[in-house]
Structure 1
């Protein structure tokens, strides 16, 4: 049987359309659904990624989705990474990836507390109950406020004992993190601006429990619909699943084998025919954006020669410039908030003009606010200095 062949140009055409790099969405929820979830390890990424794809970019609109409508939520899930997903997608993501992460996080927390303060599972459960009761009374609270109500949260553990960077850490942050991973509390509004990394916390009801196998199949289907066609290794890396779960999910999702330029891959059965290549449009995507972080093998849209300047040593991507479904450069902000960029490929005068126009668009909605990525990359730092 001859497999359908989908070359790199066809993959880039799909990426450009499905990840909203050629058209823009009306709502934040549409953006999150288009890419399955927005990276949220760095709070600024969610806003930058969403606004890059919105017809009318607005910080207030993203905040409304999080804090007023409740249609966008943050979850610790794929690859033990924080994502912002729609409330409709959250149960699938939690069952497919988040629940297993929560189990591991709780096991690590118990080991940490047993060694550091001598707590067992019963003591942890008692402190968690007290914490949730305190949060319910307040309605919303910061971690500091919760420690005033639950003194046990102030107990400290020595971290990296004997190392030059040895420090003492309250148990509060780790306990709150595990309660959030379990879905028993959720992040509310930040203490400062949309760039803040400090959040208030609010009570929450755990997401409905779904069958893990069915959830993994549905997440694989959604990944293929947004990121496909792709290799088995790409889905395994993106989700953080083991190989057995990956293969089972692909089969249950109805994925069919295809031939990619780089080798074997998978696609949904209704995604085998050639697609029309869209009119190119420039895009400036932020550090950790879900598009450049969507695959393990990236040479079909991001040449390997560019990786050393666009990624840090831990594999985090910096701000990228896109044209015609491919990475062609990187960008940053000066101290005054102005945007600067460098093209790593010759893209021609039309593309350069479009990129300059997109930079003006991003600068306009940012309004002089300067965003410094949490994980800085060589080209981003070069452009800043």
Structure 2
């Protein structure tokens, strides 16, 4: 007996993307919390990317809105989680992310650090636990502190390790950042306000607020349901890649959601029941999204919104996407900020060169210029097109 599976076209997926990911002007949000909820998690490897992802999707963007959410109300939480990547997630989702992915990442990172400390210094679990305890005591007294200030207060953080021995890039860094990174992944400390502007990569550390602990199986099912709500329809490979889980854990969690099987253009996929009857088109809209934007990095299979021929221009050598221009639910080019603050755009497809697209892209470039003001940004993962545009 043949099981009927509804078919969802690429056009339907792109039409849903424009509204579900708040790319269309009519769909823009009023708050950063609404943006994070729509996208599930905001990539935070580059501090500026969080602000730019929110600005592209809010009607009246202002950095103060995100600063309020991150550092005052703490309605958004920065976490090291899926695929060992830094994300900003809604506070209500933090326990789910912690139990489904962050705990595993933290355990792996701590084990790796203990191996290095044992091999190079003979330090074990007791020494590392004492160091972590000293960090928490220092933060209790200081309130917030930079990594350098914590290293001054906790001498053990100044321990040096040998990295990449025998290589041209051999180095002997302190363990400060690795210990603090492990503690952050465990949810014991968190990043506080940056030093300088909101685009700065230098920041303070602060004690983290505890959140409820959930069973890992329940958390994985909950996270996958939220992912499908934001990114569905999607394939099993998409789900596995985005979460960083094993195939077994992915399938087990998927079975506990309400997802049904559907045929996508390049094979079977999964969709929630309300995603089976999607419109085939929507009003075309332009968006300028930052490097590592959650929309651009949301799926393992991207052909339905990204021409594979554009990959060499828009990605770096490690698979990280740079700043992108979107039109009508697909990537059509890239952009960069020049030293004088100008936003340089470059369409790479015929669709992006139409008059309607060019006018809409220019409007978004002007909106982004106004948002940035005197701020200058430079992605940490630089792509061929971004480099040429920035230096041009």
Which TM-score bucket, shorter chain as reference? over 0.9
Aligned equivalent of 1:167: 171
Q: Distance between the aligned counterparts of 1:370 and 1:129, measured in 2?
A: 38
Q: If the length of structure 1 is used for normalisation, what is the TM-score?
A: 0.98
- TM-align CA RMSD: 1.1
* Residue 135 of structure 1: how far off its partner (Å): 0.8
Q: Distance between the aligned counterparts of 1:204 and 1:356, measured in 2?
A: 42
Pick aligned residue for 2:269 from 265, 270, 283: 265
Deviations along 1:39-95, whole A, 9 cap, x unmatched? 001111000101110111111111111111111111000110000011111111111
Q: If the length of structure 2 is used for normalisation, what is the TM-score?
A: 0.96
Q: Distance between the aligned counterparts of 1:256 and 1:279, measured in 2?
A: 28
SS at structure 1 position matched to 2:193: strand
Pick aligned residue for 1:281 from 282, 285, 288: 285
Name which of structure 1's ranges 39-48 and 347-356 shifts more when overlaid on structure 2. 347-356
Are positions 1:382 and 2:384 aligned together? no
Q: Which runs of 5+ in 2 are unaligned?
A: none
Change (3 A) 1:30 1:146: same
Aligned equivalent of 2:6: 4
SS at structure 2 position matched to 1:53: coil
Aligned equivalent of 1:255: 259
* Residue 227 of structure 1: how far off its partner (Å): 0.5
* Residue 207 of structure 1: how far off its partner (Å): 2.6
Q: Which runs of 5+ in 1 are unaligned?
A: none
**Stretches of 4+ moved more than 3 A in 1?**
none
Aligned equivalent of 1:300: 304
Are positions 1:64 and 2:68 aligned together? yes
Name which of structure 1's ranges 295-304 and 338-347 shifts more when overlaid on structure 2. 338-347
8 Å CA contact 2:199–2:375 kept in 1: the answer is no
* Residue 276 of structure 1: how far off its partner (Å): 5.9
Name which of structure 1's ranges 199-208 and 15-24 shifts more when overlaid on structure 2. 199-208
Are positions 1:125 and 2:136 aligned together? no
For these two proteins, the number of residue pairs brought into alignment is: 385
8 Å CA contact 1:336–1:368 kept in 2: the answer is no
Aligned equivalent of 2:217: 213
1:140-179 to structure 2, matched below 5 A, reads 140-179=144-183
Q: Distance between the aligned counterparts of 1:251 and 1:305, measured in 2?
A: 35
Change (3 A) 1:334 1:205: closer
Q: Distance between the aligned counterparts of 2:17 and 2:37, measured in 1?
A: 14
Are positions 1:39 and 2:59 aligned together? no
SS at structure 1 position matched to 2:263: strand
Q: Distance between the aligned counterparts of 1:205 and 1:34, measured in 2?
A: 24
